[in-house]
Structure 1
Amino acid sequence: MSGHRGTPPAWWFGDRAPPLPARALASLYGGAIALRRALYRKHLLRSQRVPVPVLVVGNLIAGGSGKTPLVIALVERLRAAGWTPGVASRGHGRDDAGQGRWVEPSTDPRLGGDEPVLIALRTHANVRVDADRVAAARALVAEGCDIVVCDDGLQHYRLQRDVEIEVVDGVRRYGNGRLLPAGPLREPVERGARCDFRVLNVGSANGVEPGFGEWPMRLHATQARPLHGGRPQSLAAFTGQRVHAVAGIGDPERFFTMLRGLGIGVVPHAFPDHHRYVAGDLAFGSDLPVLMTEKDAVKCAAFATARHFSVGIDAQLPEAFWVALLDRLSACPRTQ
């Protein structure tokens, strides 16, 4: 399966040259996105502003780069600084994608989207999903939010933004540097230079160093929460054990590597990004504990057993990043 919801084509992140049809389609795609940006720049397509600051989190490549842990961290830090943040998201892959919806921690991920449900569960902030990000932002403002965090909104130009944060996978970077479908890029690499902040997701790996102007984000595994109920356990309790590890995210290997780094023996089970689980997907033929990402866990809770655990992930960034971000936001105009 190719594309960002499954295993990406071998040429995206390797040395193999993309096939000619993919390169031809990439050329057409590049022309289309250049035309779209030009139409917005000339105000032939109009972006719209809401009366509070809008902070956009996004990436240039198709697939995951660590946006969700960063959005959660942003909401928590903004709240601690006195803001009332709300989150606007499209809610990728949900059933009623054409309808706006409030997302609660108990919302069915098929209706709210797996990532918005996780954000609501972790932050208890107002979360609104809508294909129309402007409508989502306006709904959040009407609920009393004084700042909107737009999840995966870098390419949604109709909503004006005050601050843009690009998230970059520290290992995969931009792959072969080509546009879809010849490569993983949704926009040219140069687009990142126009973002206010570039956050480099170094995960839990050592040896991945940020470049000039990049802020490192480390992902720290906190604990394992039983999906069947009960007290969370330290991940140290699984050190030296073999476990089934489940990840249906943009880069499953990142999760497996993190667990191996804690001395856990990983039997890996990678699923497509945003995979819709059924009980049979977790029938692995042995009674080993099953550790899964939080994003997967919100979709598996209904048929989980005592062997299934959700691994919490916290994003950690330098204090200087938060100082710089809050300083930038303090200068943003408000008309509310």
Structure 2
Amino acid sequence: MKAPKFWYKSLTLISLTLLPVMLLYYLLTKINQMIKSPYKSKVPVICIGNLTVGGTGKTPTTIVLVERLVSMGYKPHIISRGYKGTELGPLRVDTKIHTVTQVGDEPLILATFAPTWVSKNKSNGIKVAVKEGADVIVLDDGLQNPSIYKDFSIITVDAKIGFGNGFLLPAGPLREPINSRLKNTNFLLSIGSVKDQNKFISQYKHKLNKAKHIQAEIVPIETGMNWKGLRVLAFAGIGNPEKFFTSLHNLGATIVATKSLNDHQVFNKKILSRLKIEATQLNAQLVTTEKDAIRLPQEFRTNILSLPVRLKMKDWAQLESAINILLKG
């Protein structure tokens, strides 16, 4: 599903019309939170989540966080629900055995950095991970899941688009109110370029005192690939494909066509054959994201390039200090 454009406009007739449904959504969410009794893990749980629907950089944040935790001497395990995967879990992801159909795309990426478990029931996943040696749990998404007690929370937000029109679903992109969540969050991590960060700070400065604000940017990994002047047909099925297209442009690629697909798009032979024909007609190379590449059928992988990216933190000091206090306390 692609985000409706009216979510990112200040006020529209559509969003106003949906306000009664939004109020019902809010009421049902509050009732769900009240009736659930959260499970408290034996080891600290760090949750990486977002307030809005769509891609905000949770997976790159999870990757750099577990890398940092390992460098600090900890044994993090990642818990994911395995979005669109068939496995109920708890199941430890093995990249040599499991497929996207079974566990989803993100867990296959995360499993290359730390032990990763898919579990529709996240408390069961946490219990198994602790038995298997985890001394800290990193919860990939699940901020709005009231069944798990979080010792530490990081909210990720796309600095370019922020929190949209400020309305809850379906009138806007918010899963819950901004102010109440930020008051109970350790860090708000805005992700984007310097220009986008400045815009974000200016727009939300009245809210940034409710949680510690830190900044980061998603940057391509240096692989030795020379993108300059390469004619490409870029396609992506992620939350915000424009970021991917901008990254390719900044690397010097000549983008002759772009295709924005649904988030977590299933790539069948029909879709990919059509893209291959179009790329041939345009004398262009097919390029996609690292996450999309995981979902490609094996026979298409050799002819499609992918662009791996990682999160670059502006300053680790504040976050690392807070995590050390949590884990050593």
Q: TM-score range by the shorter chain?
A: 0.7 to 0.9
Q: 1:323 aligns with which of 307, 317, 328?
A: 317
1:81 counterpart letter in structure 2: M
- Measure, in 1, the Cα distance between the counterparts of 2:14 and 2:4: 9
- Measure, in 1, the Cα distance between the counterparts of 2:229 and 2:107: 34
Using the TM superposition, give the Cα deviation of residue 157 of structure 1 relative to its aligned residue in structure 2, in angstroms.
2.0
**1:54 paired to 2:53:** no
Q: 1:162 aligns with which of 151, 167, 170?
A: 151
**1:187 paired to 2:182:** no
| Unmatched segments (≥5 aa) in structure 2 | 202-207
> Partner residue of 2:9?
14
- Measure, in 2, the Cα distance between the counterparts of 1:179 and 1:21: 13
**1:306 paired to 2:307:** no
CA contact (8 A) 2:293 2:301 kept: no
**1:27 paired to 2:23:** yes
1:110 counterpart letter in structure 2: T
Aligned in 2, Cα 1:139/1:334: closer, same or farther, shift over 3 Å? farther
CA-to-aligned-CA distance 1:66-120 (integer Å, 9 cap, x gap): 1000000001111011011100011111123x34322122320111111111111
In terms of fraction of residues, the more helix-rich structure is: 2
- Measure, in 2, the Cα distance between the counterparts of 1:292 and 1:193: 38
1:64 counterpart letter in structure 2: G
CA contact (8 A) 1:53 1:329 kept: no
> Equivalent residue of 2:288, what SS?
strand
> Partner residue of 1:296?
292
CA contact (8 A) 2:219 2:310 kept: yes
- Measure, in 1, the Cα distance between the counterparts of 2:195 and 2:125: 38
Query: Does 304-313 or 17-26 show the bigger shift?
Result: 17-26
CA contact (8 A) 2:159 2:196 kept: no
Using the TM superposition, give the Cα deviation of residue 168 of structure 1 relative to its aligned residue in structure 2, in angstroms.
0.7
Q: 1:238 aligns with which of 212, 215, 227?
A: 227
- Measure, in 1, the Cα distance between the counterparts of 2:71 and 2:307: 24
Identity of aligned residues (%): 30
Using the TM superposition, give the Cα deviation of residue 303 of structure 1 relative to its aligned residue in structure 2, in angstroms.
2.5
TM superposition score normalised by structure 2: 0.88
> Partner residue of 1:226?
none
- Measure, in 1, the Cα distance between the counterparts of 2:324 and 2:302: 47
> Equivalent residue of 2:18, what SS?
helix
Using the TM superposition, give the Cα deviation of residue 262 of structure 1 relative to its aligned residue in structure 2, in angstroms.
1.7
Aligned in 2, Cα 1:233/1:281: closer, same or farther, shift over 3 Å? farther
Using the TM superposition, give the Cα deviation of residue 260 of structure 1 relative to its aligned residue in structure 2, in angstroms.
1.1
> Equivalent residue of 1:167, what SS?
strand
1:12 counterpart letter in structure 2: W
> Equivalent residue of 2:111, what SS?
helix
- Measure, in 2, the Cα distance between the counterparts of 1:239 and 1:99: 44
CA contact (8 A) 2:60 2:311 kept: yes
CA-to-aligned-CA distance 1:163-196 (integer Å, 9 cap, x gap): 1000011111111111111111111111123210
> Equivalent residue of 2:258, what SS?
strand
- Measure, in 2, the Cα distance between the counterparts of 1:64 and 1:178: 18
Query: Does 176-185 or 186-195 show the bigger shift?
Result: 186-195
Number of aligned pairs? 309
| Unmatched segments (≥5 aa) in structure 1 | 1-5, 224-231
**1:103 paired to 2:98:** no
Aligned in 2, Cα 1:240/1:308: closer, same or farther, shift over 3 Å? same
- Measure, in 2, the Cα distance between the counterparts of 1:331 and 1:241: 48
Q: How does 1:1-336 map to 2 (within 5 A)?
A: 6-15=1-10, 16-19=12-15, 21-37=17-33, 39=34, 45-96=36-87, 98-106=88-96, 107-121=98-112, 123=113, 125-190=114-179, 191-202=181-192, 204=193, 206-209=195-198, 211=201, 212=208, 213-223=212-222, 233-234=224-225, 237-266=226-255, 267-282=257-272, 283-284=274-275, 285=277, 286-287=279-280, 288-319=284-315, 322-332=316-326
> Equivalent residue of 2:295, what SS?
helix
- Measure, in 2, the Cα distance between the counterparts of 1:265 and 1:201: 25
Aligned in 2, Cα 1:34/1:214: closer, same or farther, shift over 3 Å? same
> Equivalent residue of 1:88, what SS?
strand
Query: Does 181-190 or 274-283 show the bigger shift?
Result: 274-283
> Equivalent residue of 2:144, what SS?
coil
- RMSD of aligned residue pairs (Cα, Å): 2.0
- Measure, in 1, the Cα distance between the counterparts of 2:320 and 2:150: 15
> Equivalent residue of 2:14, what SS?
coil
- Measure, in 2, the Cα distance between the counterparts of 1:20 and 1:330: 45
2:6 counterpart letter in structure 1: W
Using the TM superposition, give the Cα deviation of residue 33 of structure 1 relative to its aligned residue in structure 2, in angstroms.
1.8
2:153 counterpart letter in structure 1: E
CA contact (8 A) 1:60 1:192 kept: no
